[in-house]
Structure 1
Amino acid sequence: MDSKSSPQDAQRKGLLRPISGLLVGTLLLLAIAAQVTLSKINLSAHRFSEDIIARSWDHDVEIWQETVRALAHQEQARARLAANDTRWIDEAILAPMRAVTGSRSVRLVPARGEDGMAGLWVIEGQAKLNLPLVLSGVGPYMIQATLDEGMVTSFSAQHGQNAAILQLGGKLPPNHMVLPLRNPKGGAVAVLAWPALDPYSAVRFDLPIALLALFGLLAAAAWFFMRRSNTIASDLIASEARARHLAFHDTLTGLPNRAMMFDRLGQSLAMSRRYAGEMAVHCLDLDRFKEVNDTLGHHAGDELIQQVGRRLSELCRDSDTVARLGGDEFVILQPEADGTGASHLAQRVLKLFETPFELEAGVVEVGVSIGVTLVSNPEIEPAEALRQADLALYGSKENGRNRVTFFEPDMDAALRMRRNLESDLRKALADGSLTMVYQPQMNGRGSIDAMEALVRWNHPERGSIAPSIFVPLCEESGLILDLGEFVFRRVFQETAGWGDIRVAINVSALQLRSPMFMATLTRLVAEFRVNPERYEIEITETALLGDDGITRDNITMLKQEGFSIALDDFGTGYSSLNSLKRFSVDKIKIDRSFVHNLEANDEAEGLVDAIVKLGRALKLDVVAEGVETEHQRERLAACGCNTFQGFLVSRPVPAEELDGLFSGHNP
């Protein structure tokens, strides 16, 4: 054994050696059990054979007696017997009995003296069986059959015992089974003997050889196993070490996982209690990581996570802990750190992400949002410390990403407000207090091409809450499907009577990733009996990214049902020409940021001009949204875009103000 092995390792290896002895002992027990079982089978076979042959003898005697009765009732039996017609008696009675019993000596004798007693008797030095022949008016007679070699051969042949013998006395041969034949008084008249059955004989000589061979084989295997036991034990120990590693480390990056992070955080807090020190907990979340996954695939996302883990590990001290909690979220535990040290490390992490990541799929640039909490109270629970850092991270995300935010006590109040807002939003969806407004899309001739449906929430206490606030809240809290169903239901209900005017409805990427999206939509179409060709589904470029099968299927089914597809905020995302063609997009909407910049610089006009030309090349309708001034409209018209949406055309208005305008509309 390796001198460096621990006592625990030696103990584990020592436990393997008795297994070899156990295997050998098991073989010996099997051999003994086989011997005992075969012996029991042998004994049972003997008893069974004796019982069967004894019953068979008694049964044959009854059959012979029935045969005598049947022969005595032949038509001429009484007259022939009275006349002592020896020829008839021999042919009609004695010959059949010889054939039935197998005895070569069968006589008809008067029933008197020794010959007059039924049963098996020794008469004139021979064992003879007397069978009464009873017939009124004649006799009485006995059919006397001698137990000779013929009768024994005939009887034993029924049981395959061709070597049976009959003895009146003397010593029986060895290894024979016997059936004593007794007279009606119980006295032994003769003994029927036959070679004993021996089921064990077939394996009597082969079994020991087979067992010895098996024993030798198992002994060789046990010897080999004992030789290999150290290697096996070492493999088991290595497997146990790997299992321990996997239990506390992330499989993708090899970094400590959530379990180990909490363990080390607990240890650091304990050290802080003992030495009155401070520490910092950093929560990191990658910015635009989902876009990398969606555009380049999950393999690229995994590669990016691995590179981030390596960079963070190289950046931090040996005393720091870099852990991956899952997805694109990391944690850095920084012991013995004050506010200055924590801020310095966080800024170094931000700078670390300024260098692009070179992946197999290409070079990508991602940022990082960081939330930091300084732990000065060592009595705090590890989960609470992580929660505070996570709250600070949420603040970084809310304030523009790619920044550092330190935890402040009032963040708890902000979280409570967010939770209250989420609760109020659930109630608003339940009681239908959200409302819909509609903004027209007007062409260059001054007529309305379509209306875009927009959801609004007028909170009873907080007033009007912007969709940019409550729609992301729905996505984060799992309410987006409920919101989507509400919007479809309300729009179908309010616009069903608008003739053939087209209505655009916004759908989020999360809705399109739901397997239940189309089932809900088709149910509502049937419920309100609307024509899908009157409605267009507005999606963002994010929904087209990647190769999500459910999204692809949902968009395909939307087109099959008759809905048209409009790509909202075009130019701000990462959609490709291939995506526009593959998903059969019908319309693109120029993002309001480009429209707003038309008055500021010529570069924006060049971008708008390029988008319009792209739309024309692909035979797509092009709409500019966010048009607020006549100058913007003129610049857009100069670029070739003649369909506008924005405050210049009209503010969003409730459906009841439009019912009279669109009722029975048919341009």
Structure 2
Amino acid sequence: MLIGIYSSWLVLVSLFVAMFASYTALDMAGRITASQTRFAACSWLGGGSFAMGLGIWSMHFIGMLAYKLPVPMGYDVRITSLSLLIAIASSGFALWLVSQNELSWRRLGAGAVLMGSGVAAMHYTGMAAMRMSPGIQYTPWLFALSIFIAIGASGAALWIAFHLRRHSSRVRLLRAGAAIVMGIAIAGMHYTGMAAAHFPTGSACGAAHAGADHGWLAILVTISTLGCLSVTLMISVLDLRLESRTAVLSTSLASANEELTYLALHDNLTKLPNRLLLEDRLNQAVQTAKRKNTRFSLMFVDLDGFKCVNDAYGHHIGDALLAEVALRILTNIRSSDTLARMGGDEFVLLTQAHDPADVAGIGEKLLTVIRRPYEIDGHDCMVSASIGISIFDGDDQHQNELLMNADAAMYHAKSLGGDRYCFFEPSMNANAQQQMQLLRDLRLALERREFLLLYQPKFDALTMALTGVEALLRWQHPERGMVPPDQFIPAAEKAGLIVPIGEWVLDEACRQMALWRNAVEADWTVAVNLSAVQFAHSGLTQLVAATLARHALEPRYLVLEVTESTAMRDVDSSMTILRQLTEMGVHISIDDFGTGYSSLLYLKRFPASELKIDRGFVRDLARDTEDAAIISAIVALGRTLNLNIVAEGVETSVQQEFLTRLGCTSLQGYLLGRPVGPDLITEPVPQLTSTGEESSPRGLSLCR
């Protein structure tokens, strides 16, 4: 027998190639399974089959090249190519098998036999490529053992590849360990087969001259195989990274789309459904009610006094209050009901309750929970609610009609003073339409310059000299004519328009006062009323300073009138604002004095220069001794605090004489002068009595 020897470095190279091929095979199995399309899976199966087959075949071929006999060696190219094709086919079958969803023990056994037989066929076909003469003799038990090892190694490889095909945080480390085991098993099969081969003395290699040269073939096969496996593995890694990034991007896009969808259908502040989602659910409720002949209710909830809180403490407090109101309502309704925020301080509740008694119970419960005090960021806040209710009666009602009816009922509840609920009645629609039209017109009134100021004079009670005028806002509507303030001021406060309107009033009054100062050197003052919302606005002092500077008007010619109840609403805040205005040089007047609940302790601290006695005390002065006593007390209090006392609503000579005798500083009323345009303001003309003596003036002279 011819005795052969092994080249140690080629044996090591063959073992490394076996491990590298095993790792590549495991990675290919994972890429096939992770493919999103059938084309991608087929592409990875074809490429993986070639790379894995080439790697196994190369290990076998390098192992054969590592074995040297004392005779010239060579390999038949056609038979060698056939062994490569067998390796590729076996690898393709293995990758296809492990890419299936399931790998039962029966399928694993059959696959191990088929793949092991293919690997063995590859090996012994490759041995036949030497075309030895006489032929190679094999030891039967070693030959059988090599086939058994091939089948066992194939089974282990299939089982490992199937369970390591999914990507995880430790999969590459596990694949590396499995590749070492698989590489050793494959090499073990090869060298067992080689140990089974015996070459009789005198054997000659028929392919020594016709086949490929033994010397350079080992290097060429090693470099080609490692290059092919490396490129395949690199492509796999890059594709995996691209796929991972695509998956992350896809997940991010899906999450972003989901978030955008949520934001499109929900209110960002309260997380409640918004108008869009409410309309969809309302439409579904209408369709379901018509199909099943059932009924449901819609409740329109609008907060009373929210704008005052929002303007007094800032939008962050207002937002927190809205969120708390939403939470209170949610905890007091059924999970099947839908609560939506329409915007601002308006909410809509869609409930399956339809019996009037049940719906009224829900309305009463909501009123109770909403009116309870709130503590927001250290501030005590109070709001109530006006609730309008419409019930779907099964007729051909549209969802917009239901909303309009509930809205009309809500406006009716608000017109009755708020903090109540009202069921819709057909007569409410006309009033609601009028209110909505009024709000629309009011929003355009500033832009169209429909507002104007009239000025009512104030006179010194003793000398009847003109001491000042009070600016009174009027709205000259192009169709309705002169709209009374008590009709549009509440609407302006509700719509949030009172602040810009108040800014216009202040600007116009200061502008006119500056004209009077320049034209006739007027030494009187102009008084401007501040609403509660305007007084609580954070930029009031800056607004006043900027307006005075814009018209070059000295602050001492401006009087700001604040009602007693407004000043007492938040005493500490009022003190700060009034002190800032006083330090600026502006005069402060406490309007409607005597109608609120003032504390003398706070009153003496207010930096006011004037008290205005409410016209309600003056009206019945001649008949009501209690009113006279109250006015006397107010005058005495004003003198003690060194304040000017102004009585408004003077309409008779008896009232004038009584107020003058009590000690009022100034008088104002229709007896002395009605509100007129700025061009009609001048000094009063004394009236002569029948005796020729001057009497109190009966009005203003009109300059035409």
Task: State the percentage of identical aligned residues.
Answer: 24
Pick from 396, 413, 426 the counterpart of residue 413 of structure 2: 396
Q: For residue 539 of structure 1, what is the amino acid of its counterpart?
A: L
* Residue equivalent to 1:626: 614
After TM superposition, give the deviation of residue 314 of structure 1 in Å. Answer: 1.4
CA contact (8 A) 2:466 2:524 kept: no
What is the aligned partner in structure 1 of residue 487 from structure 2?
Answer: 469
Mapping for residues 265-280 of structure 1, pairs under 5 Å: 265-280=282-297
Task: Summarize the alignment of residues 152-191 of structure 1 with structure 2, pairs less than 5 Å apart.
Answer: none
Whether 2:530 is the aligned partner of 1:539: answer yes
Judged with a 3 Å threshold, the aligned counterparts in structure 2 of structure 1 residues 311 and 447 are, in CA distance, closer, same or farther, namely same
1:339: Cα distance to partner? 2.0
Work out whether residues 373 and 382 of structure 2, in 8 Å CA contact, stay in contact via their aligned partners in 1.
yes
Task: Mark the CA change 1:466 to 1:232 in structure 2 (over 3 Å): closer, same or farther.
Answer: closer
Measured in 2, the distance between the counterparts of 1:647 and 1:415 equals 34
Q: Verify the 8 A CA contact 1:474 1:483 in the aligned structure 2.
A: no
In structure 2, relative to structure 1, the CA distance for the partners of 1:555 and 1:321 (3 Å cut) is same
Matched, 1:300 2:317: yes
Q: Secondary structure of 1:272's match?
A: helix
Aligned partner (choices 625, 643, 646) of residue 644 of structure 1: 646
Whole-Å separation in 2 of the counterparts to 1:442 and 1:647: 15
The 1:249–1:15 alpha-carbon spacing in structure 2 relative to 1, beyond 3 Å, is farther
| Superimposed CA distance per residue, residues 503-527 of structure 1 (whole angstroms, 9 cap, x where no aligned partner) | 4253xxxxxxxxxxxxxxxxxxxxx
Match of 2:633 in 1: 635
Residues 281-303 of structure 1: CA distance to partner in whole angstroms, max 9, x if unpaired?
11112222223333333332222
Instruction: Report the alpha carbon displacement of residue 436 of structure 1 after superposing the two structures with TM.
Output: 2.3
By how many angstroms is 1:332 displaced?
0.3
Question: Residue deviations 1:592-638, cap 9 Å, x none?
Answer: 2x4247xxxxxx5x63x4454123xx3x4123142414544322121
Name the residue aligned to 1:452. 470
The one-letter code of the counterpart of 1:540 is S
CA RMSD of aligned residues (A): 4.5
Displacement after TM superposition at 1:387 (Å):
1.7
**Equivalent AA in structure 2 for residue 382 of structure 1:** Q
The superposition leaves residues 639-659 of structure 1 with CA deviations (integer Å, 9 ceiling, x where unpaired) of 124320302332251367753
CA deviation after TM superposition for structure 1 residue 384, in Å: 2.1
The TM-score normalised by the length of structure 1 is 0.54
From 388, 405, 430, the counterpart of 1:413? 430
Greater C-alpha Rg? 1
Displacement of 1:261 after TM fit? Answer: 0.6
Q: Where does structure 2 lack aligned partners over 5 or more consecutive residues?
A: 1-33, 45-225, 622-627, 651-666, 686-699
Give the counterpart of 1:566 among 560, 564, 571. 560
Q: Deviation at 1:346?
A: 0.8
Instruction: Quote the Cα distance in structure 2 between the aligned partners of 1:244 and 1:407.
Output: 34
Please give the alpha-carbon distance, in whole angstroms, between the structure 1 residues aligned to 2:374 and 2:326: 12
1:446, distance to aligned residue in structure 2 (A):
6.2
Q: Does 2:344 align with 1:327?
A: yes
Q: Is the 8 A contact 1:589 1:625 kept in 2?
A: no
Question: Map of 1:108-147 to 2, 5 A cutoff?
Answer: none
In the TM superposition, what is the alpha-carbon distance from 1:14 to its structure 2 partner? 6.7
**Cα distance change on mapping 1:21 and 1:322 into 2, 3 Å:** farther
* CA spacing shift, 1:596–1:242, aligned 2, 3 Å: closer
CA 366–489 in structure 1, closer or farther in 2 if over 3 Å, else same: closer
Instruction: Tell me if the contact between 2:509 and 2:526 (Cα under 8 Å) persists in the aligned partners.
Output: no
Output the amino acid matched with 2:522.
D
Aligned match of 2:576: 578
Letter in 2 for 1:408: E
CA distance in 1, matches of 2:246, 2:257: 16
| d(CA) in 1 for partners of 2:255, 2:264 | 14
Looking at structure 1, the residues matched to 446 and 581 of structure 2 have their Cα atoms a distance apart, in angstroms, of 34
In structure 2, C-alpha distance between the alignment counterparts of 1:255 and 1:291, rounded to whole Å: 24
Q: In 2 relative to 1, CA 290–486 (structure 1 residues): closer, same or farther, beyond 3 Å?
A: closer
Give the residue type in structure 2 aligned to 1:242: E
Give the structure 1 partner of residue 682 of structure 2. Answer: 659
1:472-483 map, 5 Å:
472-473=490-491, 476=495, 481=501
Taking the aligned partners of 1:471 and 1:321, their CA distance within structure 2 comes to 34
Query: Secondary structure in 1 aligned to 2:646?
Result: strand
List gaps (5 residues or longer) in structure 1. Answer: 1-12, 24-208, 507-537, 598-603
The letter of the residue matching 1:613 is K
In the other structure, the counterpart of 2:590 is 590
The structure carrying a bigger helix percent of its residues is: 2
1:436 aligned partner: 454
Structure 1 residues 413 and 260, CA, compared in 2 at 3 Å: closer, same or farther? same
TM-score, normalization by structure 2? 0.51
CA contact (8 A) 1:300 1:360 kept: yes
CA distance in 1, matches of 2:464, 2:612: 15
Kindly indicate whether residue 545 of structure 2 is the aligned counterpart of residue 556 of structure 1: yes
Q: How far did 1:433 drift? A: 10
Amino acid at match of 2:605: L
Q: Matched residues in 2 for 1:591 and 1:569: separation?
A: 4
Alignment of 1:87-98 (within 5 A): none
8 Å Cα contact 1:626-1:646 kept in structure 2:
yes
| 1:441–1:452 Cα contact (<8 Å) kept | no
CA distance in 2, matches of 1:357, 1:432: 39
SS of alignment partner, residue 401 of structure 2: helix
How far residue 405 of structure 1 moved from its aligned partner, in angstroms, is: 2.2
2:418 and 2:342 mapped to 1: Cα distance?
Answer: 19
- Opposite residue 623 of structure 1, the aligned amino acid is L
CA distance in 2, matches of 1:293, 1:432: 28
**Once the 2 structures are TM-superposed, how far is the Cα of residue 22 of structure 1 from its aligned partner?**
11
For 1:19-418, what aligned pairs fall within 5 Å after superposition?
219-226=236-243, 233-418=250-435
Q: Deviations over 1:451-504 (max 9, x none)?
A: 212245699998975312134456649696597499659956995755424242
Q: Distance in 1 between matches of 2:396 and 2:446?
A: 41
Summarize deviations over 1:242-280 as a string: whole Å, max 9, x none.
332222122222211111111000000111111222221
C-alpha distance 622-610 of structure 1, shift in aligned 2 (>3 A): farther
> Of the candidates 497, 500, 518, which is equivalent to residue 522 of structure 2?
500
Q: Secondary structure at the match of 2:594?
A: helix
2:302–2:386 CA contact under 8 A, matched in 1: yes
Alpha-carbon separation, structure 2, partners of 1:245 and 1:430? 40
1:331 deviation in Å?
0.9
Aligned pair in 2 of structure 1 residues 589, 20: CA closer, same or farther (>3 Å)?
farther
Task: State whether residues 444 and 643 of structure 1, in contact with CA within 8 Å, keep that contact through their aligned partners in structure 2.
Answer: no
Change (3 A) 1:494 1:409: farther
Q: Is the 8 A contact 1:442 1:645 kept in 2?
A: no
Query: Are 1:270 and 1:378, in contact at CA under 8 Å, matched by a contact in 2?
Result: no
Rounded Cα–Cα distance in structure 2 between residues aligned with 1:439 and 1:246: 56
- 2:184 aligned partner: none
Deviation per CA, 1:104-129, whole angstroms, max 9, x where unpaired? xxxxxxxxxxxxxxxxxxxxxxxxxx
C-alpha change, 1:440 and 1:225, in structure 2 (3 Å) is: same
Q: Relative to 1, partners in 2 of residues 1:214 and 1:483: Cα closer, same or farther, differing over 3 Å?
A: farther
Residue 582 of structure 1, CA deviation: 3.4
Paired residue secondary structure (1:252): coil
1:613 aligns with 2:604: yes
Determine the C-alpha separation between the residues in 2 that align with 1:211 and 1:438: 100
**Partner SS state of residue 659, structure 1:** coil
Deviation at 1:323, TM superposition (A): 0.9
Provide the C-alpha distance between the structure 1 equivalents of 2:269 and 2:560, rounded to a whole number of angstroms: 38
Matched letter for residue 659 of structure 1:
T
Structure with greater strand percent: 1
Q: Secondary structure at the match of 1:400?
A: coil
